[in-house]
Amino acid sequence: MILDPERSALLVVDVQNDFCPGGALGVPDGDAVVGPINGLMPRFRHVVATQDWHPADHASFAAAWPGHAVHDTIEVDGIPQVLWPPHCVQGSKGAEFHAGLRIERASIILRKGASPRLDSYSALFENDRHTPTGLEGWLRSLGVSVIYLTGLATDYCVYYSALDALRLNFQVVVVTDCVRGVDFPPGNVGRRLERLRKAGCSLVASSELEGS
């Protein structure tokens, strides 16, 4: 696949301490994406890094709902919500980017999930599927038409970012060696990658990217 740096953006999703091994919601082998992502960054003119940024009482935290447990699904204001351990609390060590990530190469940092009662898996829309984050407008203003997706986690924030990008008529590429998944429920990563492929997303390894 030919990489055109003028028309493309690298989207680095939530490579934060709480999503890496040892974090509050650690993705197995999650820190393994850092090296490959760093290797890709110099090849892009536009790099976007997203950061989960929750208030301490966020509605996605199981602790906010007595009688419910982690991985339960409830409805919050009519929107389905999976409950998670507290993670990526604003200003916490867990919310910081992984120390090895070359974050200085990011053109923009987009913080999401800051609304107390509304989660945001996607980098493009809140979980109500209507409220935009503003990223689309930024990308369009730069003439970006192709989004290369990397980061954590494959089956949640990467997946929903990819779906929304496809819905907005971007060309979408998931860089397979630059993502890792929660895989909950078991098999979720494989199922969601297959759904993305069928929806028109390309799945490629970084070694397959040609060009600048």
Indicate if 14 belongs to the active site: yes
44 contacts 5 by C-beta, under 8 angstroms = yes
List the catalytic residue out of 14, 18, 52, 177. Answer: 14
Residue whose C-alpha is closest to residue 27's, from 37, 17, 36: 17
According to DSSP, residue 104 is labeled G
List the catalytic residue out of 20, 88, 157, 178. Answer: 157
Residue whose C-alpha is closest to residue 153's, from 21, 15, 48: 15
Indicate if 112 belongs to the active site: yes
Q: What angle (nearest 5°) sits at the alpha carbon of residue 111, between those of residues 78 and 116?
A: 35
Amino acid making up residue 79? I
List the catalytic residue out of 112, 155, 177, 201. Answer: 112
**What is the gyration radius of the CA atoms in the chain, in angstroms?**
16
Indicate if 93 belongs to the active site: no
Active site residues: 14, 112, 157
